Amino acid sequence: MIFMNTLKYLQTHEYLLDVDLWRLFANLEELTQTSLGFVNSLFGIIKDYVDASEISSSLDFISVLTKYFRGSLCQSHQTYCLNYSAAIFYLESLRQRDDFGIYLKWCEQNEQCRRLHLPELLVAPLQRLTRYPLLLKNIWKRSMDSAEKIMIYSIKEKVEKSIRDLEGKVKWLDNFQKFRYLQEIIVWPPLWDRDKRFFIPECLKHIFKEHTAENILSPTNRHLLYEGKLTLAESTRFLDVYLFLFNDFLLVTKTKRNKKKLGGSDPGLMCPSLTPELQAVIKEGGSCTVLDQPIPLDRLAVKSIEPLHVSVFGLRNAFLIQHENRYRQCIAAFLLQAQTENIKKTWMAQITTAISCFTKSQETKKISLFTLPTESSEI
């Protein structure tokens, strides 16, 4: 609380006014009060038990556990945890400032911080939440009343379910935020710019503009499995490319950096799960331009290239991506080079695994589609 209270004090004196208190600490104050109330109530029961006579007293945890774990304790933790990754990224962007650095250093010197830095303190509520089931399990083991044990066990199950739900929400939120930023950074050139073979008169171009390709990144059931920077070998040059491997297609883009910063997105607003390469592109006002249409995983083939075949071109750690149509004809090919042999193997393994998973999911859908319910013998 030292960091939050100090920042509040500074802002009341018109310092660091542009720092968003909620984005950095979320509902930490509410969570602290709730957690402190729970601990005080728990120790109050233990103290009453110790002070009372052994014959007439018993440890009654049910009222406290029910009040907090079926009340606001889990909900407060969920609210805080959903903001945590964004808060850490926001903190990293603020630490680049001299005035904010002075504020951090002053707070860290306070005895109450016990030499801990702000990131270490911000992660504490997450760690505390995962320890609650262990606390409940220990209380359950020591309970002598069967009805009480059943009640404690049900509360433990509820807390564990809350943690599982939170993990799902965090993954969904990270995926949603990342796709939102991918929509901003990925540029889909029109057909006539992407392939000069196609001639589209100006009077007809509006037809194609009605169907925006950005919607490809909208479905919530689409996930980004792997991504990274590679080198594409063309006939006369090498091109820096950035590949996005989704659970149903592969996207090949070329990165474009602007030497002059265009303002870009506010670094504090960027998605924490973006790679450093993409973060750098956004900060420089750059983009990732799609080189070709997305390659569906059931139309994709990946092959390793032996060094003997491409050494004359100066290629190392090379592999080939083929895009095949429904008739198994190759309609596009990308000769890619990784920085190391391990990166090449990782890419090939990721693509192969993604193809296998996608194929299995499609087969499962077909089976469920064509499987009719068994007719009742009574009809």
pLDDT at 222 over 70: yes
pLDDT tens digit sequence for 69-104:
888 888 899 999 999 888 988 898 898 899 999 999
Same fold, 2-184 and 219-367: no
- CATH class for the region spanning 2-184: mainly alpha
Q: Cβ of 122: how many Cβ atoms within 10 Å?
A: 20
**Which stretch of 25-29, 79-83, 267-271 has the lowest confidence by average pLDDT?**
267-271
pLDDT tens digit sequence for 39-57:
999 888 888 877 775 555 5
pLDDT at 260 over 80: no
Give the three-state DSSP class for 319.
Answer: strand
pLDDT at 212 over 60: no
CATH number of 219-367: 2.30.29.30
Task: With cut-offs at 50, 70 and 90, classify the pLDDT of residue 257.
Answer: confident
Structural domain boundaries of the chain?
2-184, 219-367
CA distance 109 to 96: 19
**Tokens at residue 206, please?**
């509006």
Contact predicate 214/249, CB 8 Å: no
**Which stretch of 186-200, 217-231, 250-264, 295-309 has the lowest confidence by average pLDDT?**
250-264
Report the pLDDT averaged over residues 266-289. Answer: 75
Which of 84, 245, 74 has the alpha carbon at shortest distance from 174?
Answer: 84
**Which stretch of 193-202, 215-224, 334-343 has the lowest confidence by average pLDDT?**
215-224
